[in-house]
Amino acid sequence: MAAQPKNENFYELYRVSSIGTTLADTIDDMITLNKLEPQIAMRLLATFDRVIADVLSSQVKSRMSFKGNLDTYRFCDEVWTFVLKDVKFKMDNQSPLEASRIKIVSMNSKPGGT
């Protein structure tokens, strides 16, 4: 396993995904059963943050476009948050999808805003 540089941080954004919450629940269960040390658990979650960001940026090639009505937006602590209503999504060679409301959270992919 490659060592992660000390000055490189990854966002914990994907921990609230279904795979991220399942991983966290499993880790919690293992800690409760004394099968995993908390320090190792923290390293596992940090590795998950790094790997999921790397895989999504390098291996996902699908394209999607969407249109909707901007309801609200906010910029705080270098993070943009947009809420859109009546959104239509189009993906490569698939039928369009619709959602009544979505929330988009956007941030720099590199720490420090570079």
Total tally of structural domains belonging to the chain: 2
Q: Do 98 and 75 belong to one domain? A: yes
Tell me whether residue 53 is in a domain: yes
Q: Do 45 and 81 belong to one domain? A: no
Q: Do 54 and 83 belong to one domain? A: no
Give me the pLDDT at residue 47, please.
94
Q: Do 100 and 72 belong to one domain? A: yes
From 8, 88, 102, select the one nearest 46 (Cα to Cα).
8
User: Which CATH number fits the domain that encloses residue 90?
Assistant: 2.30.18.10
Give me the pLDDT at residue 3, please.
45
Mean pLDDT by 10 residues, the chain (114 residues): 49 86 95 95 94 89 92 93 96 91 84 54
Instruction: Please tell me the pTM assigned to this model.
Output: 0.59
Q: Do 69 and 52 belong to one domain? A: no
Tell me whether residue 91 is in a domain: yes
What is the domain range of residue 90? 64-108
